[in-house]
A and B are shown apart, each in its own frame.
Chain A
Amino acid sequence: MATTLAKPLPKPMSVGIWTVVIGLGTFALWAIAMNRGESINAMWFIVAAVCVYALGYRFYSAFLAAKVFALDATRATPAERFSDGRDFVPTNRWIVFGHHFAAIAGPGPLIGPTLAAQFGYLPGTLWILIGAVLGGCVQDFVALFCSIRRDGRSLGQMARDELGALGGAVALIGVMAIMIILIAVLGLVVVNAMRHSPWATSTVAATIPIAVLIGLFMRHLRPGRVLEGTAIGVVLLLLAVFAGGWVDKHETLRAWFDYDAPALALMVILYGFAAAVLPVWLLLAPRDYLSTFMKIGTIIALAIAIIILNPAVKMPAITQFVDGTGPIFGGNVFPFVFITIACGAISGFHSLIASGTTPKLLANERDARFIGYGAMAMESFVAIMAMVAACVLDPGVYFAINSPAGVVGAQAADAVATISSWGYPVTVEQMEGLAREMGEGSLFARTGGAPSLAVGMASIFSSAFGDTLLAVWYHFAIMFEALFILTTVDAGTRVARFMLQDLIGNVAPSMGRTSWYPSVLVCSGLVVAGWGYFLYMGTIDPLGGINSLWPLFGIANQMLAAIALCVATTVLVKSGKTRFAWVTALPLVWLVAVTSTAAWEKLFSPDLRIGFLSHANDLAAQLAAGSLTGVAAQQAPRLIFNDRLDAALTMFFLITVWVLVVETARICYAALTGRRVPPSAETPHVPSRLVEGWVRD
């Protein structure tokens, strides 16, 4: 059984060990926070993170499990009660942990910290650690707990049951909105990595036929042989990385893969539509297997490389950009660091997974702690590693890669002059040398996190395996990120399509049939048009689309987390746990404060790089005054419309959150004062037969 933990340590020894962990963690955090020198060893980050997660898991999650949720090993889980060998299967906790982690860990925790590094490493690192232990892990845990106690229901259903129809509708629309924005911004990250890079473009393009090949293999030649198919696919992917280098050196071939950002955006949109309407087995499923393997493999390799090599972190603890003038995205450290790093600290999206497949697999209620809290701690650790990988770059190089041309200038000489004037010296020769080493034409203005993470990873890996392969490592990292970003694009488009079909199906029943091909085509088209629009606008935005899209994504994701925490708080109050309701209410209050401030600033800030409306008005004034010429004048009306659309979306998120918070407060108040509320939907206790006669740990 899974409870083969060693015998409990003798008390004094256990106390001793945890005292050492507390001491070590405090010391490491202090070293990180107080460092004002040239550089600091990455080991401190790893030590601080591991200690914080260990303490959070050992003490806080134990408190949540025992006192707040009162997890009960003798209570049969949905997996046991409905065991059907398909959806509901009692499964070993380690296997569930693996599935759950693979499902929650996407590109988010790699990109967010990389962008937030513009504030210096400290704000992001502290938020990742504290946010995860007190917020994100709690959210995942509580969502899983609520779902297990409700026959494995989804977040949307639970919102409807506990908060009424309004809550349910808000949750559904929230999920769709977040999908659209998420896919657009992820698409933009890939596009920025592939722009005028034949090597990256050809390698990423090659992942599509490889996935199709594996799909055919697993469908017709060797059905269900996941490991064989994946092994072949991984070998082919590695070959594609090398082949990309060869394409890059070939005069005619390289021209076939050399595109600017808007052209690439159109290709990604076309690809997204194809992926959404093609059968799952042909493209999506095999791509998902490959990307999961690549993801887990690369994360482990990165962890080992950082632990063994412990590279020096060169980014200062805090940069001057905490005042809101940052080049990558505008806005003060409060609230924008908390918006920028969503995944890795607290990610609302996880509550969908934690109330989706995972609760149907748990053999024992007590496993919820390990899986809900533990897997999120692990994902948070990935975010810490991404932060380290971004911060081992020279700050000048980091800013040169990530600053959009509209902020620092399109010419290399202008860009390095601007960045050097901020106090982060970098030269044109340095950037050209680096680009040559990485096998790229230019690394300037590749905003989005993937390229700087790839440069960071390449330099970490190459110092372990030799300099000669630097370019291959760089493109391997790009391929690996693109692989699972595109998987998210495919899977997200599909989910949003199902939701849209469900929604339209209420009005026109035939459209609700998920396998009716006309409906599939129309709804996929609508979803792809939705994110495709934002993606395309992102590529023509001179300030870099990341500046407007990433905060929107962060706000949407945190909004979803707020919905999950609203449901959880209501559940706690209704089940008579009001004195413990702060465990979800405090993160909720914090998230509402953060999202509201950020949304307000994105709406009404007079700073042109923060406020959507002021930017729109400024462009309109320039256009009216005739001071815009050429392409800028042509694009201005579209950009103005886009700004206003972004503003409307932000407004929608803001209103949604507040409606739900007020609704939650109303229901909690009604429950506390004994008025009529929707009853708690918890399933009655059924004794587990899996634990009969003995009680787990």
Chain B
Amino acid sequence: MIEALRRLWATLRELTGDDAYERYIEHWRSHHAGHGSAPLDRAAFCREEQRRKWEGVRRCC
């Protein structure tokens, strides 16, 4: 039951993009760690994400 709720919560977070930063950090660790650079911090990442997200057609009629 608890497990089901946890999974529901995780799905909701992924659907809404609430966990975007966590996913970014995970991606960064597995792909870019050890190249001598640091990941973006949360605020900078969110700014960058939003800028990128709104280039192009995002919403329809």
Contact = CB atoms under 8 A, between A and B. Distances in A.
Nearest to A281: B50
Contacts of B12: 227
A223 B54 contact: no
A224 B42 contact: yes
Interface string A81-123: 0000111000010110011000111111000000000000000
Contacts of A319: none
A218 interface: yes
Contacts of A20: none
A340 interface: no
Interface in A194-245: 218-219, 223-227, 230
A352 B18 contact: no
A142 interface: no
A678 B3 CA distance: 54
B51 A106 contact: no
Contacts, number: 99
B31 interface: yes
Contact of B57 (A99, A230, A280, A352): A352
Contacts of B14: 92, 95
B56 A285 contact: no
Interface in B24-56: 24, 27-28, 31, 42-43, 45-47, 49-56
Nearest to B55: A498
A154 B17 CA distance: 23
B19 to A, nearest CB: 9
B18 A103 contact: no
B17 A280 contact: no
Contacts of B61: 106-108, 182, 186, 342-343, 347, 349, 488, 557
Interface in B1-30: 11-18, 20-21, 23-24, 27-28
A98 B17 CA distance: 11
Contact of A227 (B16, B45, B52, B53): B16
Nearest to B59: A491
Interface in A289-344: 289, 342-343
A532 B46 CA distance: 33
A154 B13 CA distance: 28
Contact of B52 (A86, A107, A218): A86
A85 B58 contact: no
Given A95-B14, A223-B42, A280-B54, A85 B31 contact: yes
Interface residues of A, number: 50
A182 B20 CA distance: 32
Nearest to B53: A285
Contacts of A350: 60
Contact of B56 (A104, A342, A498): A498
Nearest to A155: B57
Contact of A103 (B49, B54, B55, B58): B58
**Best-surrounded residue of B13, B23, B54 (most CB of chain A within 10 A):** B54
Given A94-B11, A224-B42, A281-B47, A492 B18 contact: no
Contact of B16 (A107, A230, A357): A230
Contact of B18 (A107, A224, A356, A495): A224
A104 B58 CA distance: 9
A224 B59 contact: no
Contacts of A557: 61
Contact of B27 (A85, A94, A95, A108): A85
A99 to B, nearest CB: 7
**Best-surrounded residue of A154, A487, A495 (most CB of chain B within 10 A):** A495
Contacts of B42: 223-224
Contacts of A492: 59
B56 A105 contact: no
B43 to A, nearest CB: 4
A284 interface: yes
Given A218-B46, A284-B54, A347 B60 contact: yes
Smallest CB-CB A-B distances: 6 pairs:
A85-B27, A108-B61, A224-B46, A491-B59, A223-B46, A223-B43
Interface of A: 85-87, 92, 94-95, 98-99, 103-108, 154, 175, 182, 186, 218-219, 223-227, 230, 280-281, 284-285, 288-289, 342-343, 347, 349-350, 352-353, 356-357, 487-488, 491-492, 494-495, 498, 514, 557
16 contacts: A94-B11, A95-B15, A104-B60, A106-B60, A223-B42, A224-B17, A224-B18, A226-B16, A226-B18, A227-B18, A230-B16, A285-B54, A288-B59, A350-B60, A492-B59, A494-B54
Given A106-B60, A280-B51, 7 more contacts: A98-B15, A106-B61, A224-B45, A227-B13, A352-B57, A487-B59, A495-B57
